[in-house]
């Protein structure tokens, strides 16, 4: 078994296609006014929406979001990374991203207008590695990335945000959830400490490389290295952020800070701040507003598209 293979891991991506003619006037794209459609070079290709779930999300949870897009004529691909990859085996993220890119090619969906709908930091981690994998392709432009919707994300990681995430995941364990979360946090801190000790040892004994690692390598020197930087350096890409002041796991101030960085790079940025909804609960509390925001964002992005997404390798 090679280093890049992942034993006993659920790698099942769920792909669904809309029923022809079912969307009717609810079609997200192309837009209809009752009689005529807006003419576009993209009108023969359905929009592809990629749902990437939060840590601990089950497929039945994401299926509710799939219905939003399926009923409006979109193809939907959904997946949630296993908990152990998100919090422990983080070096397996490149493997998942590679599988995703190969799946798009196998299904011949890479040329469809692609929108990501990403939940929490747990989904954002995998999203960032998918971006990295696409940018490393021989022809990244064949992947027609248009925009990204973030639900309760992304923000920089810290110990408290990880602790709150585990409290939420193990909420059914009542008083024991704090003990479980504390133990896992200690294990994560030990893992990070060991990574830095190993890097220091390698630097002292082996020294620096004359040549950097090959771009095709799936290995990283540190887990989740530069995941947020990859997102924040995108250009010619549209973003929508759905968040709330009531979210104790993802501070709204940090969401707006990330959005500000992306806007400063010339990207189109839409902010939707909900009142009173908790972490990844915005759709449950405000379904009409949530659906309207997502639909309007995709339509506006399609109508105002001005070129392919630019990745971090294309500028300093």
Within 59-158, residue ranges assigned H as helices are 59-70, 83-87, 93-106, 120-135
Per CATH, the homologous superfamily of domain 14-156+224-314 is: Alpha/Beta hydrolase fold, catalytic domain (3.40.50.1820)
Q: Please give the average per-residue pLDDT across 25-34, as a whole number.
A: 71
Band of pLDDT at residue 253, cut at 50, 70 and 90: very high
CA distance 223 to 26: 42
CATH 3.40.50.1820 intervals, the chain: 14-156+224-314
Q: Please give the average per-residue pLDDT across 225-240, as a whole number.
A: 94
Q: Average model confidence (pLDDT) for the chain?
A: 84
Which phi-psi region, left, alpha or beta, contains residue 156 (left: φ > 0; alpha: ψ -120 to 50)? beta
Is it the case that residue 2 has pLDDT exceeding 50?
no
pLDDT of 119-146, one tens digit each?
A: 999 999 999 999 999 999 999 999 999 9
**Which residue reads 């893992």 in tokens?**
191
Q: What is the pLDDT of residue 22?
A: 63
Q: Please give the average per-residue pLDDT across 248-261, as a whole number.
A: 95
Q: What is the pLDDT of residue 225?
A: 77
pLDDT of 99-112, one tens digit each?
A: 999 999 999 999 99
Q: What is the pLDDT of residue 219?
A: 57
- The answer, as to whether pTM is greater than 0.75, is yes
- Strand ranges inside 245-282, DSSP E: 268-274
Q: What is the pLDDT of residue 25?
A: 64
Band of pLDDT at residue 60, cut at 50, 70 and 90: very high
CA distance 50 to 113: 11
**Which residue reads 């530069």 in tokens?**
226
Token representation of residue 77 = 């691909």
């Amino acid at each position: 078994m090679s280093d890049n293979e992942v034993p006993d891991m659920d790698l099942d991506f769920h792909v669904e296609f809309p029923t022809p003619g079912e969307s009717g006037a609810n079609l997200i794209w192309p837009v209809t006014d009752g009689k005529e459609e807006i003419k576009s070079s993209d009108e023969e290709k359905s929009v592809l929406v990629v749902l990437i779930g939060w840590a601990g999300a089950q497929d039945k949870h994401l299926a509710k979001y799939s219905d939003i897009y399926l009923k409006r004529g979109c193809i939907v691909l959904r997946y949630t990374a296993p908990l152990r990859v998100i919090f422990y085996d983080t070096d397996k993220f490149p493997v998942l991203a590679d599988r995703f890119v190969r799946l798009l090619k196998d299904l011949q969906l890479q040329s469809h207008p692609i929108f990501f709908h990403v939940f929490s930091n747990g989904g954002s981690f995998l999203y960032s590695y998918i971006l990295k994998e696409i940018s490393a392709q021989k022809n990244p432009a064949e992947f027609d990335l248009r925009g990204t919707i973030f639900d309760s994300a992304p923000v920089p990681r810290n110990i408290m945000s990880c602790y709150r995430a585990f409290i939420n995941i193990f909420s059914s364990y009542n008083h024991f959830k704090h003990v479980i979360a504390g133990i896992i946090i200690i294990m994560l801190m030990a893992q990070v400490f060991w990574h830095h000790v190993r890097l220091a040892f390698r630097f002292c004994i082996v020294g620096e490389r004359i040549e950097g690692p090959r771009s095709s390598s799936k290995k990283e020197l540190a887990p989740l290295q530069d995941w947020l930087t990859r997102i924040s350096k995108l250009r010619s890409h549209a973003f929508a952020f759905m968040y709330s002041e009531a979210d104790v796991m993802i501070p709204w101030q940090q969401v707006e800070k990330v959005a500000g960085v992306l806007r400063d790079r010339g990207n189109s940025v839409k902010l939707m701040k909900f009142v009173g909804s908790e972490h990844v609960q915005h759709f449950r509390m405000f379904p009409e507003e949530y659906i309207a925001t997502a639909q309007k964002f995709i339509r506006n992005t399609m109508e105002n598209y001005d070129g392919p997404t630019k990745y971090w390798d294309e500028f300093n």
